Amino acid sequence: MIGSRSLSSLSVKTYFKNMELGRYYLNIPLVSKMESEEERQRIHDYYKEMLYSHHDGRAEMAKSMMLTLLKSGYLIDEQQESREKNINMILDGDKG
């Protein structure tokens, strides 16, 4: 979901063109735990290809790579992570 609309209800090209890639980052601790260098390199390559695709205007490719990385836990949305931390603080009664 993006706000109150799903990605499928938006123009994929428009969404990925205007996407703030700076809010997403690679989950380095998870990547580092991978057994082989080949597997770690593959994830880095997916991430780079997502960035290059976005830069080159290949929205469908960027979307595919991004969703692959997000769903597998290798890409983290900084805003989502921040929201989850705040919600957990409220639920746990922690005032910060």
Q: Is residue 76 part of a domain?
A: yes
Per the structure, the complete domain to which residue 75 belongs is given by 11-92
DSSP assignment letter at 35: S
Q: Do the Cβ atoms of 66 and 15 come closer than 8 Å?
A: no
Q: Do the Cβ atoms of 43 and 26 come closer than 8 Å?
A: yes
Q: Is residue 1 part of a domain?
A: no
Condensed to tens digits (0 to 9), the pLDDT of residues 44-82 reads 999 999 999 988 988 888 888 988 998 999 998 887 766
More confident residue, 76 or 15: 76
Q: Is residue 6 part of a domain?
A: no
pLDDT value at residue 24? 85
Q: Is residue 85 part of a domain?
A: yes
pLDDT value at residue 32? 95
| CA-to-CA dists, residue 72 to 5, 51, 67, angstroms | 22, 17, 8
Q: How many domains is the chain built from?
A: 1
Residue 15's nearest CA partner among 51, 45, 59, 69 is 59
